[in-house]
Amino acid sequence: MYKKSIFFGFYKGLGDFISDSYIIEHFYKNDYKVYISIASWLENLAKFIFPKANIISYKTGKDLLNIDYNSKYIFLSPNYLHPININYKSLILYFIKYKAVRKNLPKDTIIIKPSNWELINYYLNLKKTYLNKHFYYMSYELIKKYFPDVPDTYKECNQKIDNINKKPINKIFIFPFSGFKPKDYPLENYYKIANFIKEKYKITPTFFVVPSDKEKLKEFENQFNVESKSLVELTKIFNKNTLVICSDSGPGHLAAKFGANLIVLYSTTNPEKYKPIGSGKILTIKEKKAKNISYKKIIEIIENNFVLG
């Protein structure tokens, strides 16, 4: 066994993986042999971000039973332990993954996970702990118990934001779909925002969708750019001259990681817990229902916080 080795798993969502990627980077850059277990649809992105890591992809839960956990440390990320009012299955799935790991565990391996008492406290809301914090801190404060030298990336990113040069925004990207319909903002309002930007600032926004959703934006194609790109391709177009408008979704977290500015629209989820991490300016708006967010308020936020041109 490689003495400096750590296994991170299991990542099924893009936001969960991006959140923990800041922690993974610390070990990756400090000569640890890094293993990452990740859903197959995220495999190419994981290989792009961590080209020297050992990426183990899986498609079904059964695949977890066949993984070789040949690492000194195994980190079971708690950041997908959503509160029971959002996803009651998440705690059950967490224990299933823990059981799968234990089954194939070398004798001297250390499993990094919240204690059962911490999990009970979290789900019954008996006592506030790190598990009630932003989902990055759920993982960060857990791993700090074992590795005190891991830097606080969230804090570092917030400090960088204060020093951002006010470069003009010349690219506007809109991700209209989140993969969870209650989070999605009405298309007609996105249209009004995009049309305002195009007419006033002469910048044509680009709508990014998966290929199967292109038909939904067919009427937009004559006025705006409508494109589909892989996750790896998206990483290459995000920068500090980019403004991304989206709901709470994976592409927002990816954009933030690669330096873009964001306006994130929240409805079913809490921005205090799920706000993306990044060195760009990241602003949030929340209403109980996405449709209740005023498109005029979004335009106002754009004009008051960004230089377009």
Q: Where are the domains of the chain?
A: 5-151, 161-305
Pairwise CA distance, residues 211 & 307, whole Å: 32
Tens digits of per-residue pLDDT, 238-269? 999 999 999 999 999 999 999 999 999 999 89
- pLDDT single digits (tens) 39-48: 999 999 999 9
Q: Is the pLDDT of residue 2 over 60?
A: no
Type of residue numbered 199:
E
Mean pLDDT across 47-74:
87
Q: What is the pLDDT of residues 78-129, one digit of tens each?
A: 988 876 666 777 878 888 888 878 877 777 889 999 998 998 888 888 888 9
**Dihedral sign, Cα of residue 257, residue 261, residue 264, residue 270:** positive
pLDDT higher than threshold 90 for residue 158: no
pTM: 0.93
Q: Among 3.90.79, 3.40.50, 3.30.420, 3.10.180, what is the CATH number of 5-151? A: 3.40.50
Q: Is 171 in contact with 258 (CB distance < 8 Å)?
A: no
Q: Check: CATH 3.20.20.10 for 161-305?
A: no
**Residues for the chain: how many in total?**
309
Q: What is the largest CA-CA distance in the chain?
A: 65
What per-residue confidence (pLDDT) applies to 165? 53
